[in-house]
Structure 1
C-alpha cells in the first residue's frame, strides 16, 4: 500500500512538473511571438517613416526644380521682353515740349521698377544662387527688398562667423524663412520683424524669427479641422524635419509670434 502511494505521489509530481514545463513553454512561445510582432511593427513603422521621408523629400525637390525653372523662364523671357520695351522707349525722339513726354517718363520709371523687381524675384527663386552666395546673404537680400517697401521695420542679427551648413540645409532653411515672412505679411499685421542667425556654436545652428503682429491661438490652430489651416506651419516643420532640425512656434493673440529652430551639426558636415 505504501509502495502504491509512493507511485501515485511520484506520478503527481511528474505530472506537475510536466504541467509547469508546458505552461512555461506556452508562456515562452507567447513572449517570443509578442516580441517578434513588436519588432515587426517597429520595422513597419520605420519603413513607413523612411518612405514618407523619401516622398516628402521628392516633393520638395520637385518644388525647388519648379521654382528654378520659373526663375529661369522669368529671366529669359519676361525679363528680355521688358528690356526690349525699355530700350524701345528710350530711343523715342520726343522733345520735352511734346505732350506725351511726361507720361512717357512715368512709363519708363514704372518699367524700370518692374525690371528691378523681376530681377529681385528671380534671384530669390533661383536655387543655384542661394547655394552660391550662402544663407546669410540670401536672407539679407530678401530683407533689404522688404525694407525698401516700407511695410515694416526689419532687423537682422548675425551672431558668430558664418560657416556653411550644406547646400540642401541652407536651401531648406531659406525656404522656411520665406514661408515665415510670407505668413507675417499675409496674416500678422506686424510693423517689426527680427531675424537671428546664430553661428556661435559649431555643434548647433540657431535660426529664429520674431514679429510684433497680432499672433494667434496655438491650440485653436492645432485643433482646427480645416485642411488649409496650418498648411504653412506643416510645410516648415516638414522641411526642418528633413534636415534634422527642430522647430518651436510660440504665439498668443496680441503678443506676436516667435519661431525658434535648432539644427544640430558639425562643421565638417557642411557638404551633407
Structure 2
C-alpha cells in the first residue's frame, strides 16, 4: 500500500472515529435531557402534593366552620326573637360564604388531584424513557468503545507501519552513508598510505646500492608512514566497534572515549558511575556506547554547552544512563514534528529505536536555554545475549 493510500485510509478512520464520538455525545445529550425532564416532573409532583395537602386542610377547616355555622343557624331558627335583623343577616351571610369557600376549595382539590394523576403518568413515562436512555448509553458505549477501539488500533498500526517504513528507509540510508564514509576513510587514509609505502619501498631498494644514508632516511619515513596507517586503521575499527567493549567492558570504554573528548573539545564532560560495575551482555554494552556517542555528538555539534555529564547506574535489574548538558536546549515537540515531516533528527529517533528494541525506556527533556537531559533505562532480563 502506497504512503498516500495509507494516509487517506488513516484520515477516513479518524473521520469515522470522530463521527462515532459525535453520535455518542448526542446520545448523552438526549439521556441528560430525559434525566433533567424526569427530575423537573418529580419536583413539580412534590410541589403539587404539597398544594393538595394544603387544600385538603382548608377543605376540612371550611367543613368544620360550616358545620358550626349550621348549628348557629339552627339556634337562630329556634330563638329568632332573640336576634336582631342585622345579626341574623350576618350569620346567614357567613354561612353562605363558608359554603362558597368550601365549594371553591373542593373544586380546586379535584383539579389538583386530576393534575397530580396526569403528572404521575407523565413521570412514569419519563422514568421509562430515562431507563431506556441509560440502557442505550450502556449498549452504545460498549459498542462504540469496541468499534472505536478497533479503529484506533488500526489507525495506530497504520501509523506504526508508516513510522517503521520511514525508519527502515532511514536505517538503509544511514547504513549506506556509513559504508561510504568507511570506504572514503580507508581510501583516503590507509589505502593511500599503503600506495605510498609501496613507492617508498621501491625507492629504498634503488637507494641501497647508491646512497645508504638517504636510504636509511627513507626507511625512517617509511616506518612513520606505516605507524600512521596503523593508527588510522585502529581508529576506523574503533569507530565501527570499540574492541575494548569486549575486552574491558563499558565503563573503561566510556572513560577512554570521554577522555579523548575532553582532550579535543572545550566542553567539559564528566563521567560518573553508580553501583557496582559489571560485565554486561554485548548487545547492551554496544547500545549504551552508541547512545552515549550519539548524545555527546549532538551536544558537541549543536548544544553550545560548556559542561556535560554522563552518569551510568548499575542497578539490580536495570541499567540506567543519564546524560545532561547546560547548553541552549531546544523544543522537543518541534524536533519530533520535523522527524515525522521531513525525516530530520534521525539521530534522536534511532536512539529511541535502539532502546525500544531492548524493551527499554527512552526519554528526552529539553527547553530553549535550559539544557537537555537524556534518560535511558534498559532491563537486564531478556537481554542476556
TM-score (norm 1): 0.63
Aligned residue among 136, 140, 144 for 1:30: 140
* Structure 2 gaps, min length 5: 1-117
Match of 2:365 in 1: 249
Aligned residue among 165, 174, 196 for 1:85: 196
1 CA distance for matches of 2:237 and 2:185? 7
Match of 2:313 in 1: 198
Q: Does residue 1:41 correspond to 2:156, yes or no?
A: no
Query: Residue 303 of structure 2 contacts residue 329 of structure 2 at CA under 8 Å; is this kept in 1?
Result: no
* Structure 1 gaps, min length 5: 1-8
Match of 1:6 in 2: none
1:7-156 residue pairs with structure 2 within 5 A? 26-45=136-155, 47-48=157-158, 51=161, 55=165, 58=168, 62=172, 79=190, 82-83=193-194, 85-86=196-197, 88-89=199-200, 92-93=203-204, 105=221, 109=224, 112-113=227-228, 115-126=230-241, 129=243, 132-133=246-247, 134-149=249-264, 152-156=267-271
Measure how far apart 1:248 and its partner are.
2.9
SS at match of 1:37: helix
Match of 2:330 in 1: 218
Measure how far apart 1:109 and its partner are.
4.5
Greater Rg over alpha carbons, structure: 2
SS at match of 2:316: coil
Alpha carbons of 1:108 and 1:188: their partners in 2 closer, same or farther (altered >3 Å)?
farther
Alpha carbons of 1:154 and 1:26: their partners in 2 closer, same or farther (altered >3 Å)?
closer
Measure how far apart 1:48 and its partner are.
4.1
Match of 2:355 in 1: 240
Alpha carbons of 1:153 and 1:18: their partners in 2 closer, same or farther (altered >3 Å)?
closer
Alpha carbons of 1:174 and 1:48: their partners in 2 closer, same or farther (altered >3 Å)?
farther
Q: Which has the higher helix share?
A: 2
Alpha carbons of 1:23 and 1:228: their partners in 2 closer, same or farther (altered >3 Å)?
closer
Query: Residue 283 of structure 2 contacts residue 383 of structure 2 at CA under 8 Å; is this kept in 1?
Result: no
SS at match of 1:239: helix
Match of 2:40 in 1: none
2 CA distance for matches of 1:82 and 1:228? 38
2 CA distance for matches of 1:177 and 1:235? 13
Q: Does residue 1:188 correspond to 2:297, yes or no?
A: no
Alpha carbons of 1:140 and 1:85: their partners in 2 closer, same or farther (altered >3 Å)?
farther
Measure how far apart 1:177 and its partner are.
1.7
Q: CA RMSD in A?
A: 4.8
Measure how far apart 1:231 and its partner are.
4.4
Q: Does residue 1:271 correspond to 2:384, yes or no?
A: yes
Measure how far apart 1:85 and its partner are.
3.2
CA shift digits 1:23-65 (9 cap, x unpaired): 5664454233212223313432553466467547756875786
Match of 1:259 in 2: 373
Measure how far apart 1:18 and its partner are.
8.2
Alpha carbons of 1:247 and 1:121: their partners in 2 closer, same or farther (altered >3 Å)?
farther
Alpha carbons of 1:90 and 1:145: their partners in 2 closer, same or farther (altered >3 Å)?
farther
Matched pairs, number: 253
2 CA distance for matches of 1:175 and 1:184? 14
Alpha carbons of 1:151 and 1:115: their partners in 2 closer, same or farther (altered >3 Å)?
farther
Query: Residue 267 of structure 2 contacts residue 300 of structure 2 at CA under 8 Å; is this kept in 1?
Result: no
Measure how far apart 1:202 and its partner are.
1.4
